[in-house]
Amino acid sequence: MNNSVVINLQQIKKFYDMGGAEEVHALCGVSLQIHKNEYVAIMGPSGSGKSTLMNIIGCLDTPTSGLYEFNGVNVSEMNDNQLAKVRNKEIGFVFQTFNLLARSNALHNVELPLIYGGVSSSDRKRLAREALEQVGLGDRQNHKPNELSGGQRQRVAIARALVNKPSILLADEPTGNLDSKTGDEIMILFEELHRLGNTIILVTHEEYIAEHAHRIIRIRDGVVESDENVTNRKIINATVS
């Protein structure tokens, strides 16, 4: 395994000022490092701060304090355009609610990061098709999100996250809105993506899903409760799909 650090968090805190004296402490000093080609599951009870952490890692949110280095670069010193570039090129984010553009078909949804990345039109179509084929949706390019099943929508979202070949894939409860069978199919996909060399961080409530990962980080009340490698890791055979 390549040992270079992709994500380095030191004492990350996130407080929400609710007005008056009230303050919500979503993260109270999280420190962790994630290396290239790791497959990490983040677990914890509801409200423990998992999504907050993922949003910070995905450069969608900024911490109240603490150091965040992405590939060795201090994220808090980046300006808006640089952050946009990191989100575009380095991070692939998969949401629980898919977050596809309803009016665009699958292909255009997947093309979007390439458009924002300034990729030429012909390359764009090819890369987007390849990404869709990779998630098994080569034949659904022209379908709009409302013409796709939940699992298919999440595959489109994964293709979109992958299409710019990011350094890391972030997935916040990607199976949360899916039934367990469809969820398993998505997990097989992640398994495969990991095998192909992608670095993955995945938030989940389900113990059995977390067991696909190499490493499980448990969070409670905004702090890391435990961080351990999985010894007898479950591997789903990718040929099931």
Partner 1 sequence: MYFIFEIKEGLLIAFRAIRANKMRSVLTTLGIVIGIVSVTLMATAIEGVNRAFEKSASAFGSKVLYIQKFPWVSGEDWWKYRNRKDLKVEFADYVTRQATLVDAVAPAVSTVKDARYGSRSVLNAWITGTTHAYQEASGTTIQEGRFFSQEESDGGRPVCGIGANVAEKLFPSVDPIGQTIKVGGYPYRVLTVFEKQGGLFGAFTSDNRIYVPIKSFMTQFGSHRDVTLNVRVAKNADIEDAKEELRGIMRKVRQLKPAQEDDFNINEQDLLTRVFGAITGIIAGVGFFITGLSLFVGGIGIMNIMYVSVTERTKEIGVRKAIGARRRTILFQFLVEAAIICLIGGIIGLMISYPLSLIADQVLPTAMPLSVVFIALLVSLLVGVVSGFLPAYRAAKMDPVDALRYE
Ligand X SMILES: Nc1ncnc2c1ncn2[C@@H]1O[C@H](COP(=O)(O)OP(=O)(O)OP(=O)(O)O)[C@@H](O)[C@H]1O
Instruction: Tell me the closest approach of the beta carbon of residue 236 to partner 1, in angstroms.
Output: 28
Per CB under 8 A, 118 contacts partner 1: yes
Instruction: Tell me the closest approach of the beta carbon of residue 100 to partner 1, in angstroms.
Output: 8
Per CB under 8 A, 203 contacts partner 1: no
Per CB under 5 A, 51 contacts Mg ion: yes
List b or e across 180-212, with b for residues whose CB sees 16 or more CB atoms inside 10 angstroms. eebbbbbbbbbbbbbeeebbbbbbbeeeebbbb
From the list ligand X, partner 1, Mg ion, none, pick the one residue 165 interacts with, judged by a Cβ distance below 5 to 8 Å according to partner type: none
Per CB under 5 A, 134 contacts Mg ion: no
From the list partner 1, Mg ion, ligand X, none, pick the one residue 85 interacts with, judged by a Cβ distance below 5 to 8 Å according to partner type: partner 1
The residue (of 51 and 88) whose beta carbon lies closer to Mg ion is 51
Instruction: Tell me the closest approach of the beta carbon of residue 156 to Mg ion, in angstroms.
Output: 21
One-character DSSP codes across the chain: ----EEEEEEEEEEEEE-STT-EEEEEEEEEEEEETT-EEEEE--TTSSHHHHHHHHTTSS--SEEEEEETTEEGGG--HHHHHHHHHHTEEEE-TT----TTS-HHHHHHHHHHHTT--HHHHHHHHHHHHHHTT-TT-TT--GGGS-HHHHHHHHHHHHHTT--SEEEEESTTTTS-HHHHHHHHHHHHHHHHTT--EEEE-S-HHHHTTSSEEEEEETTEEEEEEE-SS-----GGG-
Per CB under 5 A, 175 contacts Mg ion: no
Per CB under 8 A, 73 contacts partner 1: no
Residue nearest Mg ion, CB atom distance = 51
Per CB under 6 A, 52 contacts ligand X: yes
Per CB under 6 A, 129 contacts ligand X: no
Per CB under 5 A, 52 contacts Mg ion: no
Binding site residues, partner 1, CB under 8 A: 55, 58, 60-61, 80-81, 84-85, 87-89, 93, 95, 99-101, 103-104, 112-113, 115-118, 120, 160, 164
Binding site residues, ligand X, CB under 6 A: 16, 24, 26, 44, 46-52
